[in-house]
Amino acid sequence: GAKVEHLGTVNGTLRIAGVDEVEELRTVNGNIEVYGADSTVHARTTNGNVRLELSHVHGVAGTIAETTNGSVILALPADSQADLEARCLNGNFLSELPMAMQGSLKPREMRGKLGQGGVPIKLHTINGGIRVVALRTTV
């Protein structure tokens, strides 16, 4: 399938759709939006939101979404198997998918399993919230 290795900008939104693998997306002042990707996505912004819609969750490389000032929204198929780590210092974490929570040594950090666990997913923000939602298929 299609693969993007590196894409970056300073002031602007990065929007990608229908790519299997996205190794590195970086922007400073802008949002990152990925639609219909597989589970290998690494997205980082400083001042902006990250929205990832993953159509499949598999593989070992996993997904990383990081922002400093912004929110992270991750949409996954309801039957996803993943090990999730979510860290938000000044914001709330919400998952509408059932998660088996595990203990964490750090405050404001959540670890849990979706399904039986599997693909590593790391979601980090400092000033913003994190939401994990069920991927809704559009017709």
| Cα 91-118-34 angle, rounded to 5 deg | 55
Q: What is the pLDDT of residues 126-137, one digit of tens each?
A: 999 999 999 987
Average pLDDT over residues 17-28: 84
Q: What is the pLDDT of residues 88-115, one digit of tens each?
A: 999 999 999 999 888 766 778 899 999 9
Percentage of the chain lying above the pLDDT 70 cut? 94
- Torsion of Cα atoms, 114 then 62 then 90 then 136, to 10°: -60
